[in-house]
Structure formats: C-alpha cells, structure tokens
Amino acid sequence: MTLPVPTESPPPAEGDNAPARAAEIQLAPAPEAAAARAEPGTGPLTLRGITFAPARFCAPMAGLTHSAFRRLVADFGGHGALFTEMICGRWLLREDANRSPALKRRPEEGRVIYQLMLTAPEEVAPAVERLADCRPDGLDLNCACPAPKIRQRGAGSELFTDRPRLEGILRALRREWPGVLTVKIRLGRPEPSWRTILGDRLRLFADCGVDAVTLHPRFADEKLKRRARHEVFPELLAETRLPLIASGDLHGPEGVRRQAAALAGVAGIMVGRLAVVRPWIFRAWSDPDFFPEPVAVWERFVRYVREDFPEPKAFLQARVLVTYLARNFRFGHRLFALAQGARAWAELVERVGEFLENGPERLQEPDLSGLA
C-alpha cells in the first residue's frame, strides 16, 4: 500500500488543485483478518475510569458544536461523547462558563469533551481552572487546525510541529488536569519526514500522559475534498499503545465498513460534517431506518438556539445549520437558497419550516462535498 506525499515544501495556495508532486511512501498493508473483527466504534472506550459507550464521537467543529447543537444531537442519543468547538485558552478567561453558548454544558448533553486551542504552557492553569464549572469529561488539545489564523498564532497544526512548546503545554495540562486528556492531530506537514515526526509525536503523547489521540489522517494543508488516508492506521496502531480514534470521511456505518480493514483496532470513530447534516446520525447507527421528521428537528434546533444566542447571532447559527440540513434532500439547493434569502429570524424560521413541512424528497446518502 502506498501513501503519496509531496516531496518538497507544502503545496501552493490552491492546495488540493495543485499538481501532485508525489513521492510514494511504502506502508504495510492492512491485515486481511482485521476486517473480520468487530466494527470499530461499537464497543466502549474507557479512559481513566470514564467510559465512552459506544466509542462514537461528535467531532469538534468551530462555530457549530456549541451547547445548543450538542443538545440537539444528544436528544437522539447513540453517541459516546460530544466535543465542544475549539476554545481559545485566552478567550475562555473572559467568558462566563455558565452562560457562554459555546462553554455552557447541560446535563442532557451526556459526556462532553472540551477542546482547547492553546499556544503556551502558561495558558494551561487558568484555562483548566475556568473550565472547572463545566465539569468536562475530558480535555482535548487541538494540534490539528489548519486555519492560517490559528497557525499564525502557533496553535493547531502549527503546535504539532513545535515539539518543545507542544511538550511544555502537554506537561502543564497533565499537571493541572487529572481527568481524561486527549489530543487531536493531522498527519503533519507534507514533507518526507512526516512519518518520523508523527511517530515521534505519538511517543511524546504517551510519555506526557495523554490518554488517547484522534487522528484526522490528512496533511496539515489538505482540504476536506482530499480523501482521508486511513491506511496509515494499522502501522500506527502497531507502534503505539495509545488508543487511536479515527476522524475523516467516516460517514455513518457504511463509511466505516468501507474502511473496515484499515480501521480494525482503532479505539473509536469520530463523525464531523455528517453529524451536522444529520444530528440524529448516532442514533441511526444502530437503527438504520431512523429518520426523524425534519421539521421537528428544525423547530427543536430553533428553540435551542434562541435560548442561547441573542437574535442576530441566533439567525446566523440557524442559517448555518440549514446549509448542512439541506444536504438531506434531493432539492436541498432550494432550501439553501430560501435560507440565504431570508433577512431576519422570523422569515428564516418560517421559510425553512414551510419547505420541510412539505415533505421534501430525502436522499439515502447525503452528498457532503463542499461542506467545510
């Protein structure tokens, strides 16, 4: 099995459209027998005495996985834990953890892991202290975010490349936070040494007392339209004792089954965009015919968002959800256009409600392309 990576510096700005300057890196093939094992994500994952069952996780998604959304997903159940959106350590200190729409945590959400965006060890203690009120089921360090704004600050996927600073932050986290500690990463920079660096970081994580790692197997600069390279998992699993959670293009049970050989042995499955398109996806995992009345889902979300956000922000949040929800329908582009054309809250709620009440034709498998 081969994994192509660019041989030189990171790809140019066009990213995914850039011509491939690829070297072929050899990887051990996924073991044949592996596919026969239990579907990954089905069993429980226990870390530091906390059980996540099943080991299916709703991904951290900036601007999306606030409390109102997590509440909606949790209403349907079937998840092991929900990740918050990425929370900046400094911003956190200015927020009221019990009122902030991103930070507040309701008992009905079930297990919630708070994802932190940190740039220096000094940020750790105040952030952990501030989050105490939320009683996180785990803290996750973002070492994956490719957004230029975040990388310029030395966080996200940039932190992954800066070993001393990364180690300082991890050791501070482990000192200040006695609970579950996870890290979310990508493959690193697309350079010939990516694999050596990745192996080194996994050893560093284990050495620093990290409990599990989520790997979204794309290189730091790759957009979501490039495929996730799950074929890296068997080799990584063979060399680390850390539980690895897989993220990227794992769109429901079918998506996981298609990758069964590569994913055999991963400790959990993380779902991102599909969970926004279908907030009921975790429930539908074990109940494939489950598809709630879309208008009821919409009305519920509208209520939750309105409870947490003042009107101008509530409007934007609800409109973003429609972008995703629309992917469930054959003529979803019409729903999208209706929402985009709405100028105010009441108009948005009414237009979307009307479209959904008319029983739009549903798609078996929604197309997620272009969602980011």
Ligand X SMILES: Cc1cc2nc3c(=O)[nH]c(=O)nc-3n(C[C@H](O)[C@H](O)[C@H](O)COP(=O)(O)O)c2cc1C
Residues making contact with ligand X (CB under 6 A): 59-62, 64, 85-86, 115, 142, 144-145, 184, 216, 224, 247-250, 271-274, 372
User: How far apart are CB 76 and ligand X at their closest, in Å?
Assistant: 17
Query: With respect to ligand X, which residue has the nearer C-beta, 260 or 295?
Result: 260
Which of 158/249 has CB closer to ligand X? 249
Smallest gap from residue 217 Cβ to ligand X (A): 10
Nearest in space to 9 (alpha carbons), one of 188, 148, 191: 191
Tell me how far apart the alpha carbons of residues 40 and 336 are, in angstroms, rounded to a whole number. 34
- Least spacing, CB of residue 223 vs ligand X, in Å: 10
Handedness of CA 258, 82, 220, 64 (dihedral sign): positive
In this structure, how many other beta carbons lie within 10 angstroms of the beta carbon of residue 327?
Answer: 23
Distance CA 261, CA 3 (A): 16
Q: Which residue is nearest to ligand X (CB)?
A: 272
| Both structure tokens of 113 | 């892991």
Angle, vertex CA 69, rays to CA 188 and CA 96, nearest 5? 85
Residue 211 CB, shortest distance to ligand X, in Å, is 17
Joined tokens for residue 139? 């803290």
Residue type, 19: P
CB of 184 to ligand X, least distance (A): 4
**How far apart are CB 57 and ligand X at their closest, in Å?**
9
Question: What's the min distance (Å) between Cβ of 358 and ligand X?
Answer: 28
Closest CB to ligand X among 58 and 314?
Answer: 58
| 187-208 burial code (b ≥16 CB/10 A, e <16) | bbbbbeebbebbeebbeebeeb
Given a contact cutoff of 8 angstroms between Cβ atoms, the answer to whether 328 and 294 are in contact is: yes
Closer CB to ligand X, residue 180 or residue 360?
180
Looking at the Cβ atoms of 219 and 360, the one nearer to ligand X is 219
CB closer to ligand X, 145 vs 322: 145
What's the DSSP call for residue 7? S
CB of 322 to ligand X, least distance (A): 14
> Cβ closer to ligand X: 59 or 356?
59
Mention every residue, 6+ apart, whose C-beta is less than 8 A from residue 153: 119
Residue matched to tokens 């920079």: 189
Rounded to 5 degrees, φ, ψ at 87 are -115, 125
Among the listed residues 219, 153, 163, 174, the one whose alpha carbon sits nearest the alpha carbon of residue 8: 219
φ/ψ (deg, to 5) at 155: -110, -175
Residue among 110 and 272 whose Cβ is closer to ligand X: 272
